[in-house]
Amino acid sequence: MYYKKKINFFRLFSFFLSRISSKLSKNYKQYNLFVSSLPKPSQARPRTVGLMSFSLLVLCLVFSTALAGFAESPGQSKDIGMAVSPGQIWIQNVAPGEAFDVGRDMGVELIIANNSDKKRIYLLSVNSGGDISAESIKGYLPLPDINWVRLKKQSVEVLPQEKEKVNVFINIPDREEYYNQRWFAKVKVSSKPQKYETLALGITSTFYIETESKYDLKQKPYGTFGVIPSEVVINPLKVGEDKDS
């Protein structure tokens, strides 16, 4: 409801700006004649006033055009909101060589909500996040191959004010070097622009993937963050007691 009210405000504001810019455009010649009839102590003053009026006209035209395109394009929805959840998910103990069904094994599916007033199509894609970025500071590197993450659907149609679920599958190749790994992949969900629309929304959900930890690897784990072991469990441990790991 708040989003719709905000859109209506933009439409109202755009309407007033359009009226102002139209009025300025019609009276621009008369305004220049009026300015030229004023006393001219110096040549700089009339040119300054004329430049200010022209700048105001251009500014009004730009703002009214932008807001009209955003809120008043023919056939455009009153609101174009969408939501995707989860925004982030941590997936642990993914065994190389075994198919991991996120919906079955974790009970979590990608949920796409259409908050607009018309039916929409959303496009889904997987990417590794590109080069090493700020995400790596958290201890995760981009997934080496985006084909290891598969979506059940590449596109989904969602009715107004409804939600649709898309399952995600992970399949790490059966190679010893892929144990003890911490990777991330991104699933991008973007709305498919409809006729007369110039604005498309896109939301990214990040999947943090940790492969199964193994102590007796015969070779160095893949990449920079692969270590042996990748996890150490100390149990039981009493408060105030020292224990040599």
23-38 pLDDT, tens per residue?
555 555 555 555 465 5
Nearest to 59 by CA among 34, 24, 99: 24
**So what's the pLDDT on residue 196?**
75
Check residue 235 and give its pLDDT: 60
The pLDDT, as a whole number, for residue 201 is 80
The answer for residues whose C-beta is within 8 angstroms of residue 67's C-beta and 6 or more apart is 10, 11, 13, 14, 17
Report the distance separating Cα 8 and Cα 4, nearest Å. 6
CA distances from 141 to 129, 130, 168, 203, 213 (A): 9, 10, 20, 21, 17
Average pLDDT for residues 42-68, to the nearest whole number?
A: 45
pLDDT at 64: 42
Q: Is 202 helix (H, G, I), strand (E, B) or coil?
A: strand
Q: What share of the chain is helix, strand, coil (3-state, %, to 5)?
A: 30, 25, 40
Reduced 3-state DSSP string for 49-69: HHHHHHHHHHHHHHHHHHHHH
Inter-residue contact 210 to 94 (CB < 8 Å): yes
Query: Identity (one letter) of the amino acid at 21?
Result: S
Position 207 pLDDT exceeds 90: yes
For residue 166, list its beta bridge partners: 110
Q: Which of 149, 147, 128, 97 is nearest to 223 (CA)?
A: 128
Distance CA 170, CA 209 (A): 9
Residue ranges of domains in the chain: 2-71, 82-211
| The pLDDT of residue 225 is above 80 | no
The pLDDT assigned to 131 comes to 52
- Picking from 73, 69, 64, the residue whose alpha carbon sits closest to that of residue 24 is 64
Give the β-pairing of 120-127 and 88-94.
unpaired
Can you name the CATH fold of 82-211? Immunoglobulin-like (2.60.40)
Q: Which of 218, 240, 194 is nearest to 77 (CA)?
A: 194
What is the per-residue pLDDT across 164-181, written as a single tens digit (0 to 9) for each? 999 999 999 999 999 999
- How far, in Å, CA of 225 to CA of 210, rounded? 11
Distance CA(165)–CA(176), nearest Å, equals 33
Nearest to 177 by CA among 210, 117, 222, 112: 222
- pTM beyond 0.75: the answer is no
Question: What six digits make up the tokens of 73?
Answer: 């394009």
pLDDT at 28: 56
